[in-house]
Every structure is written in C-alpha cells, then in structure tokens.
Structure 1
Amino acid sequence: MAPRPRTAQSLESRRSRGTQSYRCRVCRGIHPLRKCKRFRKLSAEKRLRAVLINKYCSNCLAHQHPEGPCRSQDGCKKCGGNHHTLLHMHEEPSPPHPSRNPRQSARSHPRCSAGSVSRSSSPNRVAIERPRPEVSATATSVATLVRQKTVHILPTVIVVVDMGSSMFETAAMIDPCMAVSSIDRSLAAAFRLPFTSLGDDEVYSATLRSRTGNFKLEVVLKLDPSLKIRTPIRALSDATRAKFGNIRLADEQFHRPATISLVLGANVFAKLIQPGFLKLEDGLPVAQSTVFGWTVSGAVLEH
C-alpha cells in the first residue's frame, strides 16, 4: 500500500487528538493568536486593538468559544485582572520619594492641578487640597468679581471617526492629565464602536482622522459612563473669537458652549501636539498647534 501524503497524516492525527487550528486573523498564519510573532511584537495597546477588531476572547485569546463564555481562570499574571497577560497595560505606581514633599510635588505640575479643579469627579484626576489663607470681605468680593468676568476654555478639536463604511465628526478634548483616553457610553453606542471587557473596565477601539490632513490615529478608549464636560461655561464675544481668525483652528466654534464626551489623554498626547505656541496678549487664551489644527485654551477676561 502506498504511503499516505504527509498532509493527510497530519490532518488525521490532528483530528485524532481532538484539536483544531485556526487561521490567525493578524498575520493569516495557522497558529493560535498567543503564538503569533507579529502580534507579540505590538505594543499592549495595539494588541488590545487587534483583539477588539478581530473579535478574539480578551481573557484567553481564543478564536471562539463554541460552548459559551470563557471558562479560563488564569487571568493576567502581572495584575491578576480578568484579561490575558499580553493585554496588560497598567503600570504599577512608583513609591513616593522619601525626600520629596507630596504637596511640593503636586505644585510642580500646575497644568494637572488646574484640570483636577475643573473636573475633579473624573476617576483619573485627584483633587489637590491647598490651605486657604484668611482673606478680608473686600478681597473676597474682588475675587468673586474677577471670577464672574473670567471664562475658562479647554482645548477642543473636531475629529473624524472613521467607521470604514461611514464617517462622523465629533468634538474631543485633549487632556494630558487623563492617563487613558476615554469616551462616554452614549457616544460609543451612537458610533457602534467595537468593545471588550478587561476586568471591571470596558474598552473601545476607534480610528480617528483629521478633517484637513492625512493624519490617522488608532486609539483605545476606556469607557467613562458619565463623561460630559462643558466648555466654555458661557459664550465668548465675537471680538475674542476674531483674535484667532488668522490661524487654522481645530475647533472653529471653541468660543461657543458645547458638551464634550470624548477625551484624548496622555497615552496619545505626544502624537497630537506639534511645535507652535501662540500668545497674543494678556487676558486672552493661548493657542497650541496640533495635528487637527490650533487649539485655544486658558482664561479669558472679558470686560
């Protein structure tokens, strides 16, 4: 009897062991995702995006579970979370330096402390308590008057959410004090973004584009169920808006109140900021160049 071809023997032995190989959706090879060399070379964030897009199990990286939900009890070997170790993205916080005063350390980051004051309810921000010196009634009334005339603007951009067959425009805020980019549940549902669960967190995958250039950003977004940021609190005058008429703005309506439900955080901040900083005069916000255009942010004192 002629010997069987090796491929037939291999297939028969594979079936006899009760195993089955699937085509890898990342490199198109025949192997499990966890053994894919291309997949393992990616950053943790890009691995997570690959799992989301290709609909792998985030807990065990299985191709599918024909008998129901995942039954693996292994978890992440780095943090014990309900996700595969290859998807671990959270770094352990470093212990405080013994010779450094925590209050002095907080003061060395004024931008972050300002962000925590305006939106201290966010889980990624820590409100900084400072001792308040006693002030006279006259000083208090003057401070109240200044606050009434001062309007704070947060840096917003208009981005294009690329869904493949369709595209949508939405406003987003750039905030380097937020560790991970986040999105509100209602906005994620409206765009029907692919998502998965990592322990207690839901994470979404999105492709963002610039309206005017070729910039493209693939980003993982953490779900923040109530992410609704209002900026500015009240409309600015047309005269203030006209001061920035000579630059290409990332959000032409930055001076009109709007609710922001998408925040681009520290994990993508370096990819968004470009050289270019514009300070026109005291009492006006500043402008910063980004891949989406110029953002406008800061305090505005309108008389």
Structure 2
Amino acid sequence: MAQNKHIREQRALRESLYLRLEDIATVAASFQTEPENHTVRRMLEVRSESVKNIYDDILKIHGDIVMKVATLPDSNLDEEHAFLKRVDETYFTIQSIVRELPVQFRSSAQSPVADKTSIVQTSKTRLPKLNLQTFDGKLENWSAFIQVFNRSIHDNNTLANVERFEYLLGCLSEKLDSKTRRYFEAEIRNLKGEIPAFDTLNTFVESQCHVLAAEHSTSLKSNTYTSKNNNTFTSRPKLVSSLVANTSKQKCLVCEKDHIIYRCPVLKAKSPADRFKVVKEKRLCINCLRPHQVKNCSSTSTCRTCHKNHHTLLHFDRFSGSSGAINETSDSGNTAPAEIVVPTVNALASSLSRQVALLSTALVDVHDSQGHPHTLRVLIDNGSEASFITVKAARNLNLKRQHDKIQIQGIGANSSIFSSGSIHCKISPHGSCQPAIHLEAHIIPHVASVIPSQSLQFYSWDHINNLKLADPNFYISRHVDLLLGADVYAQLIRPGLVLAPSPRCPSAFNTIFGWVLSGSVQPEQTNERVINSFHVKIMEDCPENDLESTMRQFWQVEEVPMISTSPDDELCEKLYVEGYSKLPSGRFVVPLPFRDSKPVFPESKDIAIRRFFALEHRLKKDPVLKQSYVDFMRSVVLIKDDSSPPLHWRVGRVLETHPGSDNVVRVVTLKTALGTLKRPVVKLCPLPYSL
C-alpha cells in the first residue's frame, strides 16, 4: 500500500516536470512561427538551457516508477511506455527547433555550464568564409582532406565545438548510400525499434570498410581498356587502402581458377545441398566461404533470403520441391557477392507458377485508447479461426492488453508460435466512423510476409474501373498489420461480386471497407516466388514439447515460494488501511485488531480497586515510599477541557510553579504526553489519594 502511494507521488512529480517541458516547447513553437521576434528568441535561448536537466530528471523518476510498477502483481507498463514516448517527442522537438537558432545563440543554449566570459567570447568569434575541400568518400582523398580540415578548423581554439561541427557538416558530400543503409537496417533489426548507439554504427562502418576493401582487392585487376576511337591503352585506377595488406589473386578452391569461390560457375550450377557438401569437404566457413572456422569469422553479412548466419549460396528450403540449379542473376561488376535470388515457399507446395496471387487486403481505421483513428492495412481471411495483430501495431494503439497465451497452428498441423496476449479494438472503414466492428485480436510478432509477394506494375482492369477499392495501392508489396479471421468475416461481407473475365485477372467482392480484390495476376517478370498461406488454427490446450516442459519444471523447483496470508492477516491489513490516523505531534494511531468488537471484561472494576488499595496499604508500611508516592500524586493533575467530558481530560505533571507578586501561585507549567504547556490553576484538578 505504501508502495502505491510512493508511485502516485513520483508520477505527480514527473507530471510537473513534463509540464515545464511543454512550456518550453510552446516557446519553441512560437519561435518557429516568428523567427524574427527577438523577445521569443531570447526567451528560447534562456529556457533551453534547462531542457537537458529537466529531461534527465524525468528519465530518472520514470525509471524509478517503472521498477516499482514492474513489481506489482497486476503490472501494466503500456501507460508508462506511452508517457515516455510523449516525453521523447516533446524533447526532441525542442532540440530540433533550438538547432535553428543562429550559431552564437545555440552554442550558449547548449552549454549551460560554461561561464559568461566564454559565452561572450564564442559569440564574438568569427571566421572568414573558407572554401574547404569537400570529402567525397574516396580513401585516396582522405589524407589531404583531414590535414586541411585539422589545420583550418579542428585545431582552431577560438572555435566552439558547435561551430566545428557546422564546418564538418559542410565538408561532407552525402549520407550513407542507400545500399549501405539497407545493410545497416538489416544489421540492427534485432534492436526492435530502439535507437542504435553510435558505437554500433561505428563498428558497422568499420566492418563494411573491411568487406569492401577485401572485395575490391580480389576483384580489381590491372586490365587495360581499349578506346573505340584510337588504340591508346589506359590502366584502371587501383584502389589503395590501409585496411588491406594482401592484394594477391585468390584461386577458387572448387575449380582452381582465378576467381572468387562465390563466383565459381561450377559451384553455382550445383544444388544448395550439394554446395553445402562441397563447403564441408573443403572445410570452408559457411558464412563467407573462406578457409577458416565459423567461430573465427569476422564477417557481419547474412543470407539475403532468410537473414540467417550462412552464405546466400547455401540457402535452401526444406519444403522446396525443386532440386535443380538455382536461377542466377546477371553477374556484373556492381553486383554484391553471392547476390542471387532463391525461390522460397512458406507453405507446402508441389510446383511454383509464375503468377502472383492478390490477397484480400484493405485499409481500415483502428481506434486507440484515446479514440483517435490509426490507419492499418488488414488482410481478410476466413481460413483463420481468430484475428491477429502485430506487436508494433498493438503498441501504437496503447489499448489494454489481456495476458492470455494461445498456440497458433498453421498449415500441415505444425506448431509454430504462441501469442503474447490480446486486445479488444474497434475498426471502421478508412475515413469513416460507421459501420464499426468490435473484435478481439491476438498479438503476434508478424502477421505475414509482404503482400503481394512482389510489387507489380499498376493494373487497370475494365471490370473494376468504377469500383471504390478498399486498398488503392494493392499492387505495392507491403506488410500487413492486422488479420481479420472467420470470427468477424460474416460481419464484413456485403452483397456484390464481380467475377474475373479471365484467369489472369482478379475478382472483386464487396465489404464494409469497400471492394477488395482476390485472384491471380500475371507479372511481367518474376525472379522470386513466395506462396503465403494463412490457414490458422487456435489450440486451446497448448501441448508443450519436452524441452519446454523440462525447463518449466526446473523453474518451478527453483522458484521462490509464495507466502500465503491467512484471513486474520488480511483483516489486520484492512483494519490498518481503513483506521489509521496521524496526530498533530506526528505520531500514528492504529486501532487494535479485534475480530468482532471491543471485548467486555465483567467485574474487572472491583478487582482493580482491591489491587489499588492493597498497593496503598503496602506503601503505608514504608515511610520513604509513602512520602515519594504522596509527592508524586500531588504533582499529577487532570487538565480541564470544556469541550470534552471529565473522563477524557488529559493527565499532566506539574514541572514548575509561577507565583505572582503576592506569592500566590496562579499559573503552572505542566508536562504532558504531547509536550509542555502552561495552564492556570483553576483549570487543574488534582488526583485523589487516601494516604
């Protein structure tokens, strides 16, 4: 109970800090609207100095709250994640606007700990406009560029770090190229939406330098090229890199010719299984096809088809019905190593056709916890017993999650995955609130691969030209966020069916979202074929395999036993929560934990009186004890209180008397349980005693 109170206090403190952050965001928005307003700019400059401290305090308090909430039995961290997302958006919005300030203002705003002298000096420093050399990414130009930049900018002590950074940005020609950026996104896919650290990017860039340098060192040859206009020969420029020590030619270990093994036509002509046998016989690494063990491999490349740790040439699907050679792509100088296309099948199939199936997709509005609509792409499939939603979409909706676990069984009766919970959501047609359907969607990592299996050129068929499609961009290969199964299928269908005039055109049927397409189309070129099957069955009784059952038993044996509470303990806790109070002195008063009511002790008064008289009789026998008792009883009095009955008057002991000018005592100082106080003598009542 005390922990819940602490969480409420921490949340209130966190909310007050966030309100300060929102105030600064309002000033930043005003500056963005009126950049020429000097008052707003100066206010933003001053207030932005505290943004970082406020943000750090919020993160610290937020971490404490998350740790406390996680220990509660019915913990739900979705609300905390949503709050942190709002804080991050506000903070980074402020930072992006602060960067629009002029350099002299921004440097002072981002360095609040600097003294005033250094700030004034930085704002007054001006460098003449320099035509610095732009670095184009070529290694042979790096040495000259870095020397000029160090002398002009980096070693200039009069420049602030922000100004050096601005000069550096002006010297760069472009960001990562699109191909390298795709490799980096594939490298960080396991981060699950987290922002990668700079060390991760730096390590990736260094590894890419090694890979590219090694590739060029083995593929570039000192060939000469003949001009069409004359017989002059010019040599191809040679790449010089300090990252490569050996530039000698490599012989293929399969056919012993002068080419890299993954370009070997003999190896490519074999099936994936035969290639794997050759690699094992030659004792090559299955990841980079070089003569070393897998544990010593430094390559960060993965399979282009399944993104697992093996070479693309060694990828084969155990469900593939074909055992022949794999279709190869054109082998050009700009093609990445081992970049071939392998047909894969997600379901059991005996043959692969060149047609691409269009599945029933639509764009719908799904309402979040605040009632705001989110546009999601859904797949309508009556072959599924339930509806499913991706983890990413469920997180964005921020709806209350039910922590239930079901087993999802696909085609072939193969147990595949378990859901991580479910949510209840409301869906409606895109851009409209009615009609609305309520459904329960089970949360899984991914609903399906991209649909359709490959992007198509825009098709315009005469039989559907006048129909309002539920998914206008049906021909673009994209991911699906939500699968609507047989539990809501009947509520989606509306009268209307347009059959395909030929086998190469899709049919259309009407739904509450609009017309959806279903059927096969003939693409112009098909290099990759993927069949998606969405027949899904829910297993109510989830059988566990031997490994999972063994691990579960192990954790149950090692689990810390739960301390059970008795009904009496629960009653005591309830009595404490409902009945405790705090006195003005700071002490707490707690009621006694009687089960029914206060007990009644009959005839106890006579017993107490007899014991009191026996005590006084014993004191009479000892003169010293008698006198001490009398002195004490004379100093103990009852303090009269007109607002309460006599039996509720407080007891006090006289510490000091205050006689007047006539030596008559009218005021005394008393000691009580709550402290010392002064009272007139007429407000005191001495205790009776018989000695």
Tell me the TM-score normalized by structure 1.
0.50
* Residue of structure 1 equivalent to 2:366: 161
The answer to whether residue 497 in structure 2 is matched with residue 277 in structure 1 is: yes
Provide the C-alpha distance between the structure 1 equivalents of 2:384 and 2:425, rounded to a whole number of angstroms.
18
Residue in 1 that maps onto 2:73: 69
Which structure dedicates a bigger proportion of its chain to strand? Answer: 1
Residue 204 of structure 1 corresponds to 423
SS at match of 1:271: helix
Encode CA deviations 1:252-294: one digit per residue, 9 max, x unaligned: 1111111112100011000001111111311101101000000
Q: Which amino acid aligns with 2:386?
A: V
Q: CA deviation at 1:119?
A: 5.2
The one-letter code sitting in structure 2 at the alignment partner of 1:284 is C
Task: Please tell me whether residue 179 in structure 1 is matched to residue 385 in structure 2.
Answer: yes
1:245 aligned partner:
465
CA distance in 2, matches of 1:229, 1:273: 25
Give how far 1:298 is off: 1.2
What is the rounded CA distance, in whole Å, between the counterparts of 1:226 and 1:210 in structure 2? 23
Aligned to 2:43: none
Which sections of structure 2, spanning at least 5 residues, go unmatched?
1-70, 75-343, 407-418, 525-691
Matched, 1:300 2:506: no
- CA gap of 1:175–1:239, structure 2 versus 1, over 3 A, is closer
Determine the C-alpha separation between the residues in 2 that align with 1:190 and 1:118: 31
**Residue 211 of structure 1 aligns to which amino acid in structure 2?**
H
Q: Would you say the 8 A contact 1:241–1:255 is kept in 2?
A: no
CA RMSD of aligned residues (A): 2.6
The residue aligned with 2:395 is 189
Structure 1 residues 118, 179: CA separation in 2 closer, same or farther (over 3 Å shift)?
farther
* 8 Å Cα contact 2:359-2:379 kept in structure 1: yes
Secondary structure of 1:289's counterpart equals: strand
For 2:483, the equivalent position in structure 1 comes to 263
Cα deviation 1:24-53 (Å, max 9, x = unaligned): xxxxxxxxxxxxxxxxxxxxxxxxxxxxxx
Q: How many residues align?
A: 169
Superposed CA offset, 1:179-215 (max 9, x none) = 1100111111122122111245411111111125521
Conserved? CA contact 1:287–1:297, under 8 Å: yes
Q: Do the aligned residues in 1 keep the contact of 2:388 with 2:484 (CA within 8 Å)?
A: yes
Please give the secondary structure, in 2, of the residue aligned with 1:160.
strand
Following TM superposition, the consecutive aligned residue runs of length 4 or more in structure 1 with deviations greater than 3 angstroms are 117-120, 239-243
CA contact (8 A) 2:390 2:447 kept: yes
Task: Tell me by how many angstroms 1:239 deviates.
Answer: 3.4
What SS is found at the alignment partner of 1:294? strand
Structure 1 contact 229–259 (Cα < 8 Å) conserved: yes
State the alpha-carbon separation in 2 of the partners of residues 279 and 212 from structure 1: 27
* CA distance in 2 between partners of 1:119 and 1:166 (Å): 36
Amino acid in the other structure paired with 2:453 = I
CA gap 1:239/1:68 in 2 versus in 1, 3 angstroms:
closer
In structure 1, C-alpha distance between the alignment counterparts of 2:492 and 2:345, rounded to whole Å: 22
Deviation, 1:302, is: 4.0
1:286 paired residue number: 507
Q: Distance in 1 between matches of 2:371 and 2:512?
A: 24
2:463–2:498: 8 Å Cα contact kept in structure 1?
Answer: no
Q: Provide the C-alpha distance between the structure 1 equivalents of 2:462 and 2:479, rounded to a whole number of angstroms.
A: 22
**Structure ID, larger Rg:** 2
**For residues 277 and 118 of structure 1, what CA distance do their matches in structure 2 show?**
30
Instruction: State the distance in 2 between where 1:289 and 1:266 align.
Output: 16
2:426 maps to amino acid: T
Unaligned runs of 5+ residues in structure 1 are 1-66, 71-116, 121-126, 133-142
Taking the aligned partners of 1:280 and 1:199, their CA distance within structure 2 comes to 41
Asked if the contact 2:424/2:439 (under 8 Å) is kept, the reply is yes
Contact preservation (8 Å) 1:274, 1:290: yes
Aligned in 2, Cα 1:247/1:231: closer, same or farther, shift over 3 Å?
Answer: same
Contact 1:229–1:261 (CA<8 Å) still a contact in 2? no
Deviation at 1:235, TM superposition (A): 2.5
CA distance in 2, matches of 1:276, 1:249: 13
Quote how far apart the aligned CAs of 1:151 are: 1.2
Q: Deviations over 1:39-70 (max 9, x none)?
A: xxxxxxxxxxxxxxxxxxxxxxxxxxxx9537
Q: C-alpha separation between the residues in 2 aligned to 1:68 and 1:212?
A: 40
Name the structure 1 match of 2:244.
none
Q: Deviations over 1:150-173 (max 9, x none)?
A: 111110011001124421111100
Deviation of 1:228 after TM superposition, in Å, equals 3.3
| Counterpart Cα distance in 2 of 1:205 and 1:263 | 14
Structure 2 residue aligned with 1:223: 443
| Amino acid corresponding to residue 423 of structure 2 in structure 1 | Y
Distance of 1:226 and 1:235 partners within structure 2: 19
Aligned in 2, Cα 1:239/1:154: closer, same or farther, shift over 3 Å? closer
Amino acid at match of 2:443: L
Q: Do the aligned partners of 2:447 and 2:482 also contact (CA within 8 Å) in 1?
A: yes
How much has 1:118 moved relative to structure 2?
A: 7.1
- Equivalent residue runs for 1:53-64 within 5 Å: none
Q: 1:189 to 1:243 in 2, by over 3 A?
A: same
Report the Cα distance in structure 2 between the residues aligned to 1:289 and 1:247, rounded to whole angstroms: 9
Give the Cα separation in 1 of the matches to 2:478 and 2:377: 9
Change (3 A) 1:184 1:118: farther
Which has the higher mean CA deviation after the structures are superposed, 185-194 or 263-272?
Answer: 185-194
Cα deviation for residue 242 of structure 1 reads: 6.7
Name the CA shift for 1:242/1:169 in 2 (closer, same or farther; >3 Å).
Answer: farther
Structure 2 Cα separation of the partners of residues 183 and 195 of structure 1: 12
Matches within 5 A, 1:82-93: none
Pick 1 or 2: higher relative contact order, CA cutoff 8 A, min separation 6: 1
Distance in structure 2 (CA, Å) of the matches to 1:68 and 1:239: 55
Match of 1:47 in 2: none
Counterpart CA distance in 2 for 1:167 and 1:69 is: 32
Partner Cα separation in structure 2 for residue 68 and residue 280 of structure 1? 57
Q: Secondary structure at the match of 2:505?
A: coil
| Paired residues of 2:367 and 2:397 also in contact (CA < 8 A) | no
Question: Matched residues in 1 for 2:397 and 2:489: separation?
Answer: 23
Counterpart contact for 1:212–1:292, Cα < 8 Å: no
